[in-house]
């Protein structure tokens, strides 16, 4: 038997709020359909949802939540974040024992001082990650694309700089091409590595603003440092982020971790499913996880597909690839 459709009616009728809820050409409803694999039929204020029982329940709750916000225009980002939060709330409710721990963790995380006043961990693991960055001098964030590893690390660095607990931010990334050969890149050292550090720049511009970020670069308060140029340095009073760490060798990872001086924090992020090193070369991130996993003072957060905070289809894409790889 096919599951019965879920029926929702929003009354009294408010056509402006219904228009905001549905979006132009029902774009918001299409987002919900694609993300939760349901079909939504609408006639006026009446909505009928068809699909798997658990998915239609999630879609119904999403519609109700968005309708509560529909006094104003709903952006695509608001709809997609709403979908992510309702999905994560569903995962959390399946393990009632973890729910209280997650709530306590969220309360323990201090508010981050950035330009984004609404910035916070949107999944239990993101909350844990922020807490671990606060509590440990070295933190590893490992998981698939879109889980906020890099963005939350940069947000924590900006927060530390604003609170004056560190004197500078240092952004490090291995200059490894993702399956392509770009050839000779013109310009000075900064211009050559700019393409590799662009995700870190984008996060800084979003969290600090373009002008303020530019001034901090001019004062060398924020510095970019290709991994190959880190040898021999000692970094004191710094917040250091090593991004794309899956593309380091074990020797490079050891060299990086031993650069950390007094009063510094380091966050190392990477996705071990996207290694661009030669096939016979071991990843420094995987090696570090095995070597350092039991050392007190070093924290590891392992993100999963349910922590993806991007377009809702990204989570399903990651899941599909994982299943495809297991079948092979």
pLDDT at 49 over 80: yes
Task: Decide if 36 contacts 61 (C-beta within 8 A).
Answer: no
Distance between CA 143 and CA 285 in Å, rounded? 11
**pLDDT score, position 91:** 60
> What is the rounded distance in angstroms from the CA atom of residue 236 to the CA atom of residue 258?
12
DSSP 282: P
> pLDDT tens for residues 107-150?
455 578 888 877 878 788 898 999 999 989 999 999 988 888 99
Q: Which residue has better confidence, 299 or 92?
A: 299
- Tell me what pLDDT residue 264 has: 93
Which domains are assigned to the chain?
A: 6-93 (3.30.1370.10), 100-327 (3.40.50.300)
Q: How far apart are CA 138 and CA 259, in angstroms?
A: 12
Question: Mean pLDDT across the stretch 274-285?
Answer: 89
* Residues shown for the chain: 328
CA distance 80 to 77: 5
Dihedral sign computed on CA atoms, order 224, 230, 233, 239: positive
Helix 210-218 and helix 189-208: axis angle, to 10°?
140
Please tell me the pTM assigned to this model.
0.70
Q: What is the pLDDT of residues 87-104, one digit of tens each?
A: 766 665 554 444 434 444
Q: CB under 8 Å to 167, separation ≥6 — which residues?
A: 221, 237, 238
Q: What is the pLDDT of residues 161-191, one digit of tens each?
A: 999 999 999 999 887 654 444 455 566 656 6
CA distances (Å), origin 265, targets 63, 221, 251:
42, 15, 20
- Going 274 to 276 to 280 to 284, the CA torsion angle's sign is negative
Write the pLDDT tens digit of every residue in 153-167. Answer: 999 999 999 999 999
pLDDT of residue 326: 84
Lowest mean pLDDT among 94-98, 186-190, 196-200, 238-242: 94-98
């Amino acid at each position: 038997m096919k599951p019965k459709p879920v029926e929702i009616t929003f009354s009294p009728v408010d056509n402006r709020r219904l228009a905001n809820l549905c979006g132009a050409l029902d774009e918001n409803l299409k987002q919900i359909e694609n993300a939760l694999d349901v079909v939504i039929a609408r006639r006026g204020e009446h909505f009928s949802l068809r699909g798997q029982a658990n998915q239609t329940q999630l879609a119904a709750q999403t519609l109700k939540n968005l309708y509560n916000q529909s006094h104003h225009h709903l952006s695509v980002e608001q709809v997609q974040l709403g979908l992510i939060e309702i999905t994560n709330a569903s995962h959390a409710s399946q393990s009632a024992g973890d729910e209280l721990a997650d709530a306590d963790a969220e309360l323990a995380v201090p508010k981050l001082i950035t330009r984004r006043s609404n910035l916070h961990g949107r999944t239990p693991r993101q909350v844990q990650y922020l807490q671990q960055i606060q509590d440990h001098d070295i933190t590893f964030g490992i998981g698939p694309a879109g889980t906020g590893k890099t963005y939350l690390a940069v947000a924590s660095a900006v927060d530390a700089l604003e609170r004056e607990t560190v004197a500078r931010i240092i952004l490090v990334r291995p200059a490894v091409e993702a399956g392509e050969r770009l050839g000779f890149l013109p310009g000075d050292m900064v211009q050559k590595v700019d393409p590799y550090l662009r995700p870190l720049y984008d996060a800084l511009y979003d969290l600090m603003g373009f002008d303020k970020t530019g001034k901090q670069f001019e004062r060398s308060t924020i510095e970019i440092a290709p991994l190959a140029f880190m040898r021999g340095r000692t970094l004191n009073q710094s917040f250091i982020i090593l991004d794309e760490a899956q593309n380091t060798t074990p020797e490079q990872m050891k060299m990086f971790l031993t650069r950390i001086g007094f009063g510094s924090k380091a966050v190392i992020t990477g996705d071990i499913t996207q290694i661009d090193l030669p096939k016979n070369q071991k990843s420094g991130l995987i090696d570090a996880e095995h070597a350092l996993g039991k050392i007190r003072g070093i924290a590891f957060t392992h993100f999963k597909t349910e922590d993806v905070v991007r377009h809702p289809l990204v989570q399903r894409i990651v899941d599909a690839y994982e299943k495809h790889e297991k079948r092979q």
